[in-house]
Amino acid sequence: IVPFSLSSSSRNRIVSIQSCCSCSTSSASISTESKEKKPWLIVGLGNPGKKYAATRHNVGFEMVDAIAEAEGISMNSVSFKGLFGKGLIGDVPVILAKPQTFMNCSGESVGA
């Protein structure tokens, strides 16, 4: 796991988050330079329960937790079969999500 933090200067540039395991690679980019301030949905995939804590299966959960902590976003909303937090990264509105379905069924939460 790579340490993650956002400095004030990086909020004005593109921030890339990448996660990779043997089965897939995913990435998301946040640009604060757009004129429209539509919210970004940042989803960290993982599996619920203590059995999967601190495993490669939950790197997505750990990234969302790191972003939430760095930006002061509380992950306190429960809906759509997931944990959610709303806030800002710089001046960009974001919704952070951690689906509480197993990874293969994460679409049930993310789609809703």
Q: If we measure between CA atoms, which residue out of 95, 97, 94 comes closest to residue 108?
A: 97
Catalytic residue status for 7? no
Kindly list the strands in the beta sheet with 77-79, ordered across the sheet, starting from the edge strand earlier in the chain. 40-43, 92-99, 82-89, 77-79
For residues 82 and 95, give the distance between their C-alpha atoms in angstroms, rounded to a whole number: 12
Q: Which of 11, 32, 57, 80 is catalytic?
A: 57
Residue with tokens 């890339």: 16
Catalytic residue numbers read 57
